[in-house]
Chain A
């Protein structure tokens, strides 16, 4: 059963703590993406990766970090430097970043900072 999985579905963290969101895909896709979704603002790109061991900042990378050690995994760390981390986080993947291919989205992780 191919697809993108994100865990956990809900995540709570105390202010000042780092937290890592998981994203795994078994679609053999080259590119992976992290988006943040806030009400009324659509989806904003945090980071993206076209190949293993390489990634690029998106529009709102401050306070976030990523790694791409394996093709199928692209974890996102929300650091304590992110001023307003409460949001819905979506991971996506596509066949190849160099052409316009469909981005497949995971079910998302809702992060709440207490």
Chain B
């Protein structure tokens, strides 16, 4: 089955700096890669996603890049703010068979933005 590895497990940055979180996946058939943000005591919330026919997607201060050949994708947050502090999860999914809608998650990254 699919395996998703996420690094780093913790990331500490100063307000205004950029933060990058990287994920690798094992199944070359995976074609959908969402990123979730989870605040303390709450459920994860989708912040951005990318499909395999696109190499990069941007939404204001956040962007995601995908390298299908290397099977890795990354989350980039620019001009970080204290409210960006949370746990971030990457995930991978593929269409077909009984795998529809099934997400495999990375282990999570605890991002701390210091004022």
Contacts and interface: CB of A to CB of B under 8 A. Distances in A.
A98 to B, nearest CB: 5
B32 to A, nearest CB: 4
Contacts of B31: 100
Given A59-B1, A105-B44, A41 B107 contact: yes
Contact of B106 (A42, A50, A90): A42
Interface band, chain A: 20 to 34
A7 interface: no
Given A40-B108, A42-B108, A97-B101, A102 B42 contact: no
B68 interface: no
15 contacts: A40-B9, A40-B108, A41-B107, A42-B6, A42-B108, A44-B105, A58-B102, A59-B1, A90-B44, A96-B101, A99-B95, A100-B31, A100-B32, A100-B95, A105-B45
